């Protein structure tokens, strides 16, 4: 006799079998490429007059910074090319124009001579102004050249004193150049204004902000950031999307960066061979204040404008990054001669956003966009349930709905049969 329990077990077995068939084992991830050139780090130290304050573990801020620098210099990995830049170290006067130019390269970015670097730091004494914006521009020049990772680590105890050159705008301009330079900031016993400015600088380039109250925290954090620069990373390739698919840049598998203003649409092109699966994802960073209610769309179409598949994400409230992705498997061509060269299909990728901002917020440069393109061997024919470009999700939903309908019909028939047998008896 068929019982409800047995029928439930059978239905679960059916759904499990469908799930196994629809979700084959994932392919092994490709090996991550390593940086071809040594990473570069420029430590930017505030030597302004306020660094005389005696409020870090019974020491002046300057003394704590010097001690931390000595410990960091001892621990720098051999492959890292380290440099040191100062701000406010030389001019003690009251002339603002002169004070705002007071930044210099104390130790050139390159192979590290630990004794020489320590000697240079030992000569520093708190002196002048706080020209953070000019110091960041100088540090970006210190790190020019090469394809390895680049990092600025800014240590300061106060906000910039050289406006209208806003250091946050300077950081955004550096990021917009597409040189993949990250700025990390550390605030020594910061107040609210300093914290807000340093956070803005870091977020503009994808860096981090850290508030420091103790010298041990300063030393350990700078060591972490230098070590992070030494880790192999994949640097995005700067590109510029077009306003339509025709004439859009042709992308291969890889990581790409771009900039997109509020409400903009940008297009890119990818060639997909028969039997390959296109996997694409996009992230847009809200590196400034934005209004509530926003979204990001990644859409794949043919060159004639027919939509193939799309991915989208929306949000409400504060966000730092919004991401979405899509997959498109290109079916194999049956009967293709082994000597014939397969013809790729050009897929147009559209990246759109619905961000907006208050009138007081600058719209240029655009928000940072990171686009990931991957082309992998598609699923085999037996498991290719998305060969028509609709994505796996729709087919899975249809199969589950059909399975539920059949299970309901079978259960209804069994119930009526049991009732008829009961009445007969």
Structure tokens that stand for 117 in this block: 């670097």
**pLDDT reported for residue 398:** 72
Whole-angstrom Cα distance, residue 262 to residue 355?
5
Q: Which two tokens stand for residue 259?
A: 């900039």
**Is the full-model pTM beyond 0.85?**
no
Q: What is the pLDDT of residue 402?
A: 80
CB 303 within 8 A of CB 310: no
| Under 8 Å between Cβ of 209 and 187 | yes
Nearest alpha-carbon partner for 379 in 393, 394, 392? 392
Cβ-based burial of 41 (10 A; exposed 0-12, middle 13-18, buried ≥19) = buried
Q: Please report the pLDDT score of residue 284 as a whole number.
A: 92
Q: What is the pLDDT of residue 397?
A: 67
pLDDT of residue 399: 72
Nearest alpha carbon to residue 142 among 104, 111, 168, 112: 104
Summarised one tens digit per residue, pLDDT across range 263-306 is 999 999 999 999 899 999 999 988 888 898 999 999 999 999 99
Q: What is the pLDDT of residue 34?
A: 44
The residues of the chain scoring below 50 in pLDDT are 1-35, 380-392
| The domain made up of 240-383 is a member of CATH 1.10.20.140 | no
Q: Are 272 and 344 in contact (CB under 8 A)?
A: yes
Q: Which residues pair with 257 in a beta bridge?
A: 238, 370
Beta bridge partners of 156: 187
Q: How far apart are CA 393 and CA 384, in angstroms?
A: 12
Q: What's the length of the chain? A: 425
At 208 the pLDDT is: 84
Cis ω before 365 (30° cut-off from 0): yes
The CATH class of 40-230 is alpha beta
As given in the structure block, the two tokens for residue 402 are: 């059909």
DSSP for 150-184, written as a single string: EEEEEEESS--SSTTS-HHHHHHHHHHTT--EEEE
Residue 335, class by beta-carbon neighbours within 10 Å (0-12 exposed, 13-18 middle, 19+ buried)? exposed
Q: How far apart are CA 347 and CA 368, in angstroms?
A: 23
- Residue 334 and residue 342 in contact, taking contact as beta carbons nearer than 8 Å: no
Domain positions in the chain are 40-230, 240-383
pLDDT of residue 205: 86
DSSP 79-100: T-EEEEEEESSS--SS-HHHHT
197 burial type by CB count under 10 A (0-12 exposed, 13-18 middle, 19+ buried) = buried
Angle at which helices 114-122 and 61-75 cross, to 10°: 180
Q: Write down the pLDDT at residue 395.
A: 59
* Distance of alpha carbon 50 from alpha carbon 159, whole angstroms: 11
């Amino acid at each position: 006799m068929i019982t409800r329990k047995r029928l439930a077990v059978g239905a679960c077995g059916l759904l499990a079998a469908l799930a196994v068939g629809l979700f084959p084992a994932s392919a092994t991830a490709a090996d991550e490429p390593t940086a071809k050139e040594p990473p570069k780090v420029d430590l930017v130290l505030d030597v302004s007059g306020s660094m005389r304050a005696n409020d870090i573990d019974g020491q002046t801020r300057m003394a704590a910074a010097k001690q931390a620098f000595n410990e960091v210099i001892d621990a720098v990995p051999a492959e890292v090319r380290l440099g040191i830049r100062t701000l406010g170290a030389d001019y003690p006067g009251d002339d603002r124009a002169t004070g705002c130019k007071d930044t210099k390269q104390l130790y050139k970015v390159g192979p590290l001579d630990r004794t020489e670097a320590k000697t240079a730091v030992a000569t520093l004494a708190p002196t002048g102004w706080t020209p953070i914006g000019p110091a960041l521009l100088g540090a970006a020049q210190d790190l020019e050249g090469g394809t390895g990772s680049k990092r600025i680590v800014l240590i300061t105890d106060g906000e910039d004193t050289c406006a209208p050159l806003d250091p946050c705008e300077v950081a955004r301009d550096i990021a917009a150049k597409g040189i993949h330079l990250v700025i990390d900031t550390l605030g020594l016993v910061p107040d609210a204004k300093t914290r807000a400015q340093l956070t803005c600088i870091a977020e503009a380039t994808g860096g981090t902000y850290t508030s420091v109250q103790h010298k041990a925290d300063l030393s350990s954090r700078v060591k972490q950031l230098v070590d992070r620069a030494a880790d192999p990373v994949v640097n995005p390739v700067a590109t510029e999307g077009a306003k339509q698919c025709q004439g859009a840049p042709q992308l291969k598998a890889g990581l790409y960066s771009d900039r997109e203003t509020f409400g903009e649409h940008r297009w890119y092109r990818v060639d997909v061979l028969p039997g390959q699966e296109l996997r694409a994802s996009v992230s847009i960073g809200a590196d400034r204040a934005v209004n509530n209610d926003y979204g990001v769309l990644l859409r794949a179409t043919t060159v004639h404008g027919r939509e193939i598949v799309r991915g989208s994400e929306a949000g409400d409230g504060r966000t730092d990054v919004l991401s979405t992705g899509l997959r498109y498997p290109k079916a194999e061509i049956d009967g293709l001669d082994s000597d014939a060269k397969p013809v790729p299909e050009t897929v147009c990728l559209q990246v759109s956003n619905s961000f907006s901002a208050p009138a007081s917020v600058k719209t240029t440069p655009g928000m940072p966009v990171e686009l990931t393109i991957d082309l992998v061997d598609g699923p085999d024919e037996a498991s290719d349930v998305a060969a028509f470009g609709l994505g796996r999700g729709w087919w899975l939903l249809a199969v589950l709905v059909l399975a539920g309908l059949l299970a309901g019909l079978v259960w209804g028939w069994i119930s009526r049969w049991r009732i008829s047998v009961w009445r007969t008896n």
